[in-house]
Chain A
Amino acid sequence: MATRGRYFTTLPLVLNAIINQTRPVDKLIVFDDNDEPKDMRSEMIYQYFFKMLDIKGIAWEWAYAEKKGQHHIHQRANMMGFDWVWRVDDDAIPEPNVLETLYSYANGVNETDDNYKVGAVGGSVLTPPNLFDTINVTGLIDNIDSEPNIQWGKIERVKQVEHLHCTFLYRAGVCDFNTGLSRVAHREETLFTYALHRKGYRVLAVPDAITWHMKNPEGGIRSETKKEMYDHDEYIFRNVLQYRDKTVVVLNCGLGDHLVFSHVLPSIPNAEVFTCYPEVVPGRSIAEAQHLFGSLEHLNVYRKMDQWKWKGSLKNAYRKLYL
C-alpha cells in the first residue's frame, strides 16, 4: 500500500481491513510517501495495528518512499521477489473476503485453466453513492473512452478484461510499471494491467470482492493537480495504444549488443526499432522512444537479464524479451 497525507483519515480504516482479511497477507508493506513522514510507532492507534499484526503472525514493514509517485512505489513492490502483490489504495477499504476471493482466481477460473496464466484479478471498487451499472461493460482497451470502468459497478460474473484500475491482485515480476510517468502517475494501473494482457496473461474482473473507495479529498498519492502532468501521462498512454500492433524494440545498449540483436530482428513481428547505432540496426532515436513511451526500462536487456538471473546467451535474452 502506498500512502500520502492520510495518517489519521482513511489509512487506519484500510490497515484495519487488511489485518482482518480472511486470507491474511504474507507480508504487509506500507510505503510512506508523505512529504514529512513520521515514525508511526509513537501513535497509539498505530501501536494497536502493529500489535495486531504481530499477534496474527503477519510480517509487516513500514518503508519510506522516494516521493516520486506511486508508480515508483509499485514498481519497487513488483520487484521485491513476491509471487503475487495485492495493491491497495490508502482510501480504498476492502471487505474481509477480498484477498481470499481474488487469490482464488490466481490459478485460473477453474482447475483446467493452468495453460492460460492469470496476470491480474480485480473486484468491484465502489464509490458511494455513485454506483455504475457495468453489466454490459466490456473492459476492452478500445472502449476506455466510451464506457465506465468495469470495477465501478457491482461485478456479477467473472469477465476477462484488458485493464483494471485502483486496486487489484497481480502476478509480480512479469511486467513493469511505467516509471516514466509524471508524479501523478495518471493511467499507471491501466498501462500496467494492459501490459499484462498484452503479454498473454489473463486479466480478470471477478464478483464478490468489493472494495469501498472513499476518494478522500484530503491527501492521496495523486494530490498534485498540475494539468501538464496529466497531459504528459495521457500522451504516453495514447502512444502505447497507437503502437500496440507493433513490437517496440529499444536498443539502448552497446555496439556489440546491436550486432547480436541483428540476428534476432528477422524473427520479430512488425518491429518498430529505436536504436543507438542505426548503421548496424536501422531505426529511430532512443530520445524519440523516451518521448513517446516514458520509461524504457522494461526494454533494457541488461536490467532484464539481471532480473531473470540470466545464464543463457545474450541472443536468447533478446528472444525472451521480444518474442
Chain B
Amino acid sequence: MIIISPYSKALLSGKQNPKNYPYWEELIGLIKEPIIQVGIEGEKQLVEDFRKNLRISELRELIQECKTWISCDSFFQHLGWDEGKQGIVLWSVSDPLIYGHPENINLLKDRSSLAENQFLWWEFVEHQNDRFVKPKEVIQYL
C-alpha cells in the first residue's frame, strides 16, 4: 500500500498553493499498487480510499503500515521522516535543502524554479505546472 498526500495547506487568498503537484491523476494511473489518499475535508478526492482529517497518531500508524508514501512539500513529508519511513517528495518552489530531509527522495525539476525568497508567505508565489517533475520520472523512484 502506498500513501499519497497530494495537497499542501490551502492559501487564504483562495489561489492554488504553488507547492501542489499538478499531475496527480496521471501519476496515480501509473501506480500499480493500492493507494490511500490522506488529507482534509474539502480537498479533491483522487482515489477510492480517501481518509480525511485523521489524527496525527492515526497517520503515524498508517505510515508504519505503508510500503512508502508520496507527498508534495507539506507537513506530511516531515511526518514520514519523523516516522523513519522513506518517501518521495515532489518539490517546486520551496527548497528541499532547507525544508526537506536527505533521508527522503526529493524530486525537484530545477533549482531555477525555486522561489527567490523562501521565507515569505506562499500567497505571493504563482503556481506553475512546469515547475514540477513529470509522473514518468516519479514512477522510476517508486
For window 291-306 of A, CB contacts with B under 8 Å fall at 302-303, 305-306
Q: Top 9 nearest A-B pairs by Cβ distance?
A: A256-B75, A256-B78, A306-B119, A259-B78, A255-B75, A302-B119, A259-B82, A305-B119, A260-B78
By a CB distance below 8 angstroms, the chain A residues around B100 are 313
B30 contacts the other chain (Cβ, under 8 Å)?
Answer: no
- Closest B residue to A315 using CB positions: B101
Which of B74, B76, B98 meets A310, CB within 8 Å? B98
By a CB distance below 8 angstroms, the chain B residues around A262 are 82
By a CB distance below 8 angstroms, the chain B residues around A314 are 98-99
By a CB distance below 8 angstroms, the chain A residues around B119 are 302-303, 305-306, 310
- A–B complex contacts, Cβ < 8 Å, 25 sampled: A254-B75, A255-B75, A256-B74, A256-B76, A256-B77, A256-B78, A256-B79, A257-B78, A259-B78, A259-B81, A260-B78, A279-B56, A280-B56, A303-B119, A305-B118, A306-B117, A306-B120, A310-B98, A310-B118, A311-B97, A313-B97, A313-B100, A314-B98, A314-B99, A317-B98
For the complex formed, measure the closest distance between the CB of A55 and the CB atoms of chain B, giving whole angstroms.
Answer: 40
For the complex formed, measure the closest distance between the CB of B3 and the CB atoms of chain A, giving whole angstroms.
Answer: 16
Given contacts A305-B119, A310-B98, A313-B97, contact A254 B9 (CB under 8 A): yes
CA distance A310 to B98 in the complex (A): 8
CA distance A312 to B97 in the complex (A): 6
Interface residue ranges, A against B (CB under 8 Å): 254-257, 259-260, 262-263, 279-280, 302-303, 305-306, 310-314, 317
For the complex formed, measure the closest distance between the CB of A304 and the CB atoms of chain B, giving whole angstroms.
Answer: 9
> Is B82's CB under 8 angstroms from A311's CB?
no
- Closest A residue to B75 using CB positions: A256
By a CB distance below 8 angstroms, the chain B residues around A313 are 97-98, 100
For window 57-113 of B, CB contacts with A under 8 Å fall at 74-79, 81-82, 97-100
Chain B residues touching A, range: 10 to 19
- Closest A residue to B55 using CB positions: A279
By a CB distance below 8 angstroms, the chain A residues around B82 are 259, 262-263
By a CB distance below 8 angstroms, the chain A residues around B117 are 306
- Closest B residue to A277 using CB positions: B56
CA distance A257 to B79 in the complex (A): 10
CA distance A255 to B55 in the complex (A): 12
- Closest A residue to B76 using CB positions: A256
Q: Mark B103-137, 1 if CB is under 8 A from A, else 0.
A: 00000000000000111100000000000000000
- Which of B74, B76, B97, B98 has the most chain A CB atoms closer than 10 A to its own CB? B98
CA distance A310 to B118 in the complex (A): 9
CA distance A88 to B82 in the complex (A): 50
By a CB distance below 8 angstroms, the chain A residues around B76 are 256
By a CB distance below 8 angstroms, the chain B residues around A302 are 119
> Is B78's CB under 8 angstroms from A312's CB?
no
CA distance A263 to B79 in the complex (A): 12
By a CB distance below 8 angstroms, the chain A residues around B97 are 311-313
> Is B75's CB under 8 angstroms from A311's CB?
no
By a CB distance below 8 angstroms, the chain A residues around B81 are 259
By a CB distance below 8 angstroms, the chain B residues around A254 are 9, 75
By a CB distance below 8 angstroms, the chain A residues around B78 are 255-257, 259-260
By a CB distance below 8 angstroms, the chain B residues around A279 are 56
By a CB distance below 8 angstroms, the chain A residues around B99 are 256, 314
CA distance A280 to B82 in the complex (A): 11
With A254-B75, A263-B82 already in contact, 7 other A-B pairs whose C-beta atoms are closer than 8 Å: A257-B78, A259-B75, A260-B78, A306-B117, A306-B120, A312-B97, A314-B99
CA distance A279 to B58 in the complex (A): 13
By a CB distance below 8 angstroms, the chain B residues around A255 are 75, 78
For the complex formed, measure the closest distance between the CB of B119 and the CB atoms of chain A, giving whole angstroms.
Answer: 4
> Is B75's CB under 8 angstroms from A312's CB?
no
CA distance A317 to B97 in the complex (A): 12
- Closest A residue to B73 using CB positions: A256
For the complex formed, measure the closest distance between the CB of B79 and the CB atoms of chain A, giving whole angstroms.
Answer: 6
CA distance A302 to B117 in the complex (A): 11
